[in-house]
Chain A
Amino acid sequence: MSATGENVTENNGLLTEGGAGHGGPVMTAHRAGLVGCRGCGRVWPEAETICQRCGNTLVLPDRRGLGAVWAWLAAGLIFYIPANLFPMLKTSTLGGLHGSSEATILGGVVELIHYNSYGVAAVVFIASIVVPISKFIAIIWLARVAGRPATVRDAHRRLHVYEVVEFIGRWSMIDVFVVAILSALVQLGFVASIHPGPAAVSFALSVAFTMLSAQSFDPRLIWRGLPLRSSKE
């Protein structure tokens, strides 16, 4: 059972006291010519490629690794387009007599507003439109600024954005689950039935690719641009 003591350059006490927020230069594995394992924390000489403890691949914090981020992000963006153009749900009520409709994501929101369900409309609008688009923008921004010069405060802001993107990524899948539950549940024959549309698949793929994009982003790059000398933070 082990963990960390103090940072190598700064002898500022035990970490159980939570020592965040000091602005001085911090000794990193990269500056020491070493590479840290992102799976278990072990530190190895830069030449090693596989962590001998947990078997993870060792990757240097390098801007070249951002290629994977861009590639997955492009895939996510491409699938987000059909996800919005094709219908997400096909509803028919009273055997189609009362009307059957095919609703896209945005169409569904508009319909909910017509029925005065503003709360649900807001949830759907935020979950399927605002969140995915902000996620794309956040990843683009992170990938562009990663490794560029930054102050300690910039770095913390970037880390914060990264944490939000990483946390929220999986939750976009909620829309796909809603479609699945509705289609399984609302099978009342003549009265009402709901079927999934092709947009459900492209939306699911878009979310998965965006998650992979966020996972390929190496947060250690955020800290690469910090000045080597102590700043006045």
Chain B
Amino acid sequence: MQTEGDYDLTTGAGLIACPRCDALHIERELEAGETARCVRCNKVLAAPRAGAFTRIIALSFTSLVLMVGAVFFPFLEISRMGFGNETSLFGVVMAFADGALVPLTVALMGSIVGLPVLRAMLLVYTLLPLSRNRPPYRHAVRAFRLSEALRPWSMAEIFVIGTAVALVKVGGLANIAFGPAFWAFCALILVNAASDAFTSAATIWDAIEDAGLPTDGREMAAGRP
């Protein structure tokens, strides 16, 4: 147990190091709505928001529902000279499915569909007990670490912009119509962006610790607000 404002320069207890520039800061409990920034490089160190966990859970469930729609409904339809073709998200991914391009299919599938779904589920697993003031599930630490590591590889929003560029390219060649899956995907990236805005990794780590997962015995004595 650690009391607030108390620090030890030999063991590092009660201190926080900026992950981007290594500057040391004294750890302090933050009120919801406050934002702590590094004094040197201005990186946001923690930004707890009131009700953030419940909102992230709700947004994660929303994104799972939208993803089901995005995968199974038609994505785009094209027609020219009486020839028509409609494609779902699976169709897009399967474009690379012959021969040497198969690994790329797997990677695309992962970055567009797999990783966003996996991250949403990991966040729910980590935060569900915390939002109800229960002790976290057994693998919460591992789940949240994995979710953070996968963040840059989850590329749903890049895919949507890619769609826009592709449409400009074929716009002159044929008529294009958007299917419901396209709109589901657009909604999905907005939901993911909102979820990311509420996610403050440092705050979640503190919450996991405060909620009683046995970690390093350094949690603040003051507990949660």
A5 in contact with B25 (CB, 8 Å) = yes
Binding site for B on A (CB under 8 A): 1-8, 10, 12, 15-16, 18-20, 22, 26-30, 32-45, 52-56, 61, 119-120, 123-124, 156, 159, 169-171, 173-192, 196, 198, 200-201, 204, 208, 211, 215, 219-220, 222-223
Given contacts A7-B23, A36-B17, A191-B81, 5 further A-B pairs with CB under 8 A are A1-B30, A19-B37, A22-B39, A159-B20, A191-B83
B22 in contact with A20 (CB, 8 Å) = no
Cα distance, A211 to B34, chains bound together (Å)? 32
Chain B contacts for A180, CB-based, 8 A? 92-93, 95-96, 108, 162
Interface contacts (Cβ under 8 Å), in number, total 296
The residue among B23, B29, B220 with the most chain A CB atoms within 10 A of its own CB is B23
A176 in contact with B108 (CB, 8 Å) = yes
Cα distance, A174 to B141, chains bound together (Å)? 32
B12 in contact with A45 (CB, 8 Å) = yes
B39 in contact with A10 (CB, 8 Å) = yes
Q: Helix, strand, loop or mixed for chain A's interface?
A: mixed
CB distance from A93 to the nearest CB of B (A): 9
Given contacts A26-B39, A28-B17, A215 and B152 within 8 Å (CB-CB): yes
Instruction: Return the 10 tightest CB-CB contacts between A and B, nearest first.
Output: A36-B17, A177-B162, A43-B12, A4-B25, A3-B46, A3-B36, A5-B26, A183-B95, A52-B216, A5-B28
A5 in contact with B5 (CB, 8 Å) = yes
Cα distance, A38 to B17, chains bound together (Å)? 8
CB < 8 Å neighbour of A32 from B24, B142, B224: B24
